[in-house]
Amino acid sequence: QSKGNARRDGSTGVTFADVGGLGNTIGEMMQVVEFLKDPKQFASLDAKPPKGILLEGDPGVGKTLIAKAIAGEARVPFYQMAGSEFVEAIVGVGAARVRDLFQRARVNAPCIIFVDEIDALGIKRAEAGVRTNEEREQTLNQLLSEMDGFTPDSGVVFVAATNRADLLDAALMRAGRFDRKIRILRPDEQGRREILQASSIHARKHRLGSDVDLAQLAKDLPGLSGAELGNVLNEAALEAVRRDGAEVTQADVYNAVDRVLQGIRRPSLPDS
Ligand code: ATP
């Protein structure tokens, strides 16, 4: 079983063990898993079933991975689209895509619908400026009405992700639509250690040498996202391949750190 490989049951094959640094958000995620495993029983427990979950956090902190892990743990299908895929030039196309997506989900419930970059679609009408148009309005309205249309035991959980929850349209944020908002932070040292360990397991074909100290690496990389930490290990593996090494050494890792940090800093350098 490997990260992101769809299984025969249509699920993602991703589990919480693949996600590092979940910290105390795990309880909330487990509740969603329990619901998806048996929506009717969950409803009969008088517990409030989750409907809409908004994952907010910087790029690369694992929002998509977490949504996939919830589906994988519950072994339910996962329907993913990017907000930008709903924004079309022709009026009515985006709304039809929203309708199709929710229709497919209802037929295959319990399941998760995941919409990444929800801000592409659900940005505040004022902020959208010239991009405000009839097509976008129709698409957003269709999404709102689909979100409102769930019955508590329908077994469909709508998960959306954004880097900019502050830009989202108030209609989308109204109570009852996203009943759970979970902020995904950049990992702390322990989280970074977990992520590096999880990533190094997936990169097993590039064996890490015994001199590679992931705990020290986690200490040395404050502020990096999960995606950036993954990049460090990927780059280190490439470095080992380039010099024809049998395994990844500590020197490969720190050369990779230099390259990844340069790549992160470059965009913020002032123009000269
Ligand atoms: P974006 O906002 O850019 O869509 P995201 O928050 O959805 O980013 P992901 O796409 O889930 O981030 O993360 C990208 C990759 O980074 C993952 O596939 C995984 O390899 C790695 N990654 C990120 N966060 C974690 C984490 N907490 N644990 C393990 N791996 C992680």
| Ligand 1 contact via 83 beta carbon (within 6 Å) | no
Mean pLDDT of 105-118: 94
- Asked if residues 185 and 56 have their Cβ atoms less than 8 Å apart, the reply is no
From 65, 163, 183, 193, mutation site for ligand 1 pocket: most ligand atoms within 8 A of C-beta: 65
Q: Quick one: which atom of ligand 1 is closest to the CA of 66? A: 11
| Ligand 1 contact via 233 beta carbon (within 6 Å) | no
| Ligand 1 contact via 230 beta carbon (within 6 Å) | yes
3-class secondary structure, 122 = helix
Q: Is the dihedral of CA 74, 80, 83, 89 positive or negative?
A: negative
Name the token pair of 35: 């619901």
pLDDT digits (tens, 9 = 90+) for 203-259: 666 788 889 999 999 999 999 999 999 999 999 999 999 999 889 999 999 999 999
Name the token pair of 102: 């929710």
Where is average pLDDT lowest: 1-5, 116-120, 231-235, 267-271? 1-5
| Ligand 1 contact via 68 beta carbon (within 6 Å) | no
Mean pLDDT of 69-94: 88
Closest CA to 103 of 55, 149, 60: 149
Residue of the nearest CA to atom 2 in ligand 1? 59
DSSP result, 203-226: TTTSPBPTT--HHHHHHH-TT--H
Q: Give the angle 212-1-159 at the CA atoms, nearest 5°.
A: 100
DSSP result, 35-90: HHH-HHHHHHTT-----EEEEE-STTSSHHHHHHHHHHHHT--EEEEEGGGG--SS
pLDDT digits (tens, 9 = 90+) for 30-55: 999 999 999 888 777 767 788 899 99
Name the token pair of 210: 């015994």
- Asked if residues 20 and 197 have their Cβ atoms less than 8 Å apart, the reply is yes
Using the mean position of ligand 1's atoms as its centre, give its distance from the Cα of residue 228 in Å: 9
Q: Quick one: which atom of ligand 1 is closest to the CA of 227? A: 16
Using a pLDDT cut of 90, give the percent of the chain over it. Answer: 50
Average predicted confidence (pLDDT) for the chain: 85
Using the mean position of ligand 1's atoms as its centre, give its distance from the Cα of residue 19 in Å: 9
pTM, two decimals, is 0.88
Mean pLDDT of 7-36: 85
pLDDT digits (tens, 9 = 90+) for 123-132: 776 665 555 5
Residue of the nearest CA to atom 9 in ligand 1? 62
Give the number of other CB atoms < 10 A from CB of residue 243.
Answer: 10
Closest CA to 250 of 239, 241, 262, 263: 239
Q: Which residue has the higher pLDDT, 23 or 114?
A: 114
